[in-house]
Structure formats: structure tokens, C-alpha cells
Amino acid sequence: MSVPRVVLDTNCLISALIFSRGRFAWLREAWQTQRFTALASHDTVSELLRVLAYPKFKLTRNEQETLLADFLPYVETVKIGQTPEGLPEIRDADDIIFLVLAAVAQADALVSGDGDIQAVREQFHIPILTVAEFADWLQAH
């Protein structure tokens, strides 16, 4: 059976990378042991870089690079040509990058706890799961 290809939003990634002893710690281990393939695009990686630099995280440049090294070697990078048609309207325009990536890559799932992304789950053709739902979903695959 093929390994599921999954888009993780920035909040999921930050939780798994920075709070590595927290309740999302299993997520980092799951992508590093290839239980699923994390998908990324130029836009989603740029967003991750931007968020890792937030002053509230107090991460040095070196710490940011170390965290990226725990993620980037494991991702499949997807080149986004043009935005696909028929994506749901989303309240936070910054979140569209995750829908675009999932659609272009034909991902098996999009994992997000973001309310704006969760709000369009009924209109999106790819399953949008919370981290808890993803844990169950991954077990079933």
C-alpha cells in the first residue's frame, strides 16, 4: 500500500517541531519514519520560515535551521503552476496556500486545526482533518 501524501498547515508543523514533547510529538516521528509523506510548496515553506522567526518563539537562526532540518529533508516538494479552479472561498486569504497545495498535489488529506480551514471542509474534495482525526485516519491507512 502506498504511503499517504499529506499537507500539514503551519500551526501543526510548529506544534510538532517546537513543542516536541507535547501532544503533537508523534506527528514529527510519523513523517520522519515515513508513515506519511509531508507535502510542501514554496509558499508553505516561506510561511513556515516566517513563523519560525516570530519573536514569541525566541529561536536563534541556528535553532530555526535545526528545526527546518527536522522537516525539510522528509518532504515532497510540489511545484505550483497556477491556482486550480473551484477551490472553496476561505475567510483568511493566507490559508489558501494549503488548499492550493493539497489540490495540486492531489493529497490524501490536509491536516489543520485552523478554524478558517476547518470551515470549508464540506466544500473541499480532499479530507480536511484535525490532528486528532489524522491520528485515527493514519492508523486506518
Helix 10-18 to helix 25-32 angle (10° resolution) is 100
**110-125 average pLDDT score:** 96
pLDDT of residue 139: 93
Percentage with pLDDT > 90 across the chain:
91
**CA 34 to chain CA centroid, nearest Å:** 15
* pTM of structure: 0.95
Q: Which of 92, 81, 74 is nearest to 8 (CA)?
A: 74
Residue 44: C-alpha distances to residues 2, 57, 60, 95, 109 (Å): 24, 19, 21, 9, 16
pLDDT of residue 22: 79
Average pLDDT in the chain: 95
pLDDT of residue 19: 84
Percentage with pLDDT > 70 across the chain:
99
Residue ranges and CATH numbers for the domains of the chain are: 5-140 (3.40.50.1010)
Buried b (16+ CB within 10 A) or exposed e, 95-117: bbbbbbbbbbbebbbbbbbbeeb
Coil, helix or strand for 99?
Answer: helix
Buried b (16+ CB within 10 A) or exposed e, 9-25: bbbbbbbbbbeeeeebe
